[in-house]
């Protein structure tokens, strides 16, 4: 999941997608994707919200940050089946 999240953020940057007013992008993840990211303890890959400098500005459902994208966990993201269960994620800029 980490590598795919970084690729998504890089596509936003390369496409000159505008950032939100806080200077970051947003990523909406399934509960399973959020679990995988939180379980990754490699240094520098995932920043948990408990390590934020300003924890008073946490978004509803926010779990942390990767590469300039604030990540929000949602149980309302529908999965779909192919040959496996697919867990889609949405990464977006401000517009």
d(CA 38, CA 23): 23
Alpha-carbon distances of 85 from 32, 75, 78, 80, 94, rounded to whole Å: 11, 15, 10, 6, 29
d(CA 95, CA 90): 14
Q: What is the pTM of this model?
A: 0.85
Name beta bridge partners: 85: 81
- For residue 41, the model assigns a pLDDT of 66
Name beta bridge partners: 48: 64
Q: What is the pLDDT of residues 68-94, one digit of tens each?
A: 999 999 998 888 888 988 888 999 999
- For residue 3, the model assigns a pLDDT of 87
Q: What is the pLDDT of residues 16-71, one digit of tens each?
A: 999 999 999 999 999 988 988 888 767 678 888 888 877 778 899 999 999 999 99
């Amino acid at each position: 999941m980490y590598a795919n999240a970084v690729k998504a953020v890089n596509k936003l940057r390369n496409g000159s997608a505008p950032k939100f007013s806080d200077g970051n992008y947003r990523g909406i993840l399934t509960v399973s994707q959020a679990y995988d990211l939180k379980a990754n303890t490699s240094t520098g890959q995932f920043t948990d919200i408990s390590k934020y400098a300003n924890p008073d500005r946490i978004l509803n459902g926010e779990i942390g940050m990767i590469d300039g994208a604030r990540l929000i966990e949602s149980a309302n993201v529908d999965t779909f089946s192919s040959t496996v269960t697919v867990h889609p994620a949405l990464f977006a800029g401000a517009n």
